[in-house]
Amino acid sequence: MDETRESSTGTDSTVKVAIITAVGTLGAAFLGGVFSVLTGYLQINPSGGDPTPAATATVTVTATVTAGAAAPGPSSEPTRPEPDTSSDSPPPGESRLHLADLTPVGSAWLQGTYALASKSHEKSLAVEGVSCGLPTQTRYHLDKPYSRFRATVGVSDEVIGSARTGTVDFRVYADRDQDDRADSDEQIGARAAQYAQPNTIDIALDDTQTLILEVLANGCSRPTAVWGDPHLIP
């Protein structure tokens, strides 16, 4: 019986010691935390006044994502340049007479606005599908003498495929013997041109009374030959 009481007394003492130790540990931890808080406060605000909150820097990062254009798929339509719609007006003080305002003798060519190398010519003459090796002509009887003839010549921007290949010869004749034929010794001007590479004809007429224009395709691509704004200058 005495041995049992002594064992119980020893166990109670052990429990008490454990409790005291735990309480001491918790108290020390609490005091250490309070001391740390006070130390931090004094370091941040040594004057003892109201603590000043630390400045907060906000960094905003903007990411710009550029979406790449989708690769174009195959297309049967060719890319055509946008025409320059600026007017082809004469210089100040210069008068001119467009052939499109005259009535031709014999075959009449197409008339209208055509683009050559992205520049529009409102009063143009054109021949669609020029035959290979076969010249095409038109004639104009002039009501009075003119000093010069000018035009931009080339292949229409509207053609596609094989019509963009090859060159076209543009020729001007002065029908001096009035036989309505383009004789070789009557040729007064000529230029060759091709798609996207027009040329300019600017020649003296020497009082020509009948003017003959001629186109001839070098090859059988059947292009559309254009005389851009052909006109006479007094």
The Cα 166–Cα 134 span in angstroms is 15
- For 131-180, the pLDDT digits (tens) are 888 999 999 999 999 999 999 999 999 999 999 999 999 999 999 999 99
Of the chain, the end-to-end C-alpha distance in Å amounts to 151
Indicate the SS3 state at residue 169: strand
In the predicted model, is pLDDT for residue 223 greater than 90? yes
Q: What is the mean pLDDT of residues 206-221?
A: 94
Identify the band that residue 72 occupies on the pLDDT scale cut at 50, 70 and 90. very low
Q: For the domain covering 97-233, report its CATH number.
A: 2.60.120.1060
Asked if residues 176 and 186 have their Cβ atoms less than 8 Å apart, the reply is yes
Identify the band that residue 5 occupies on the pLDDT scale cut at 50, 70 and 90. very low
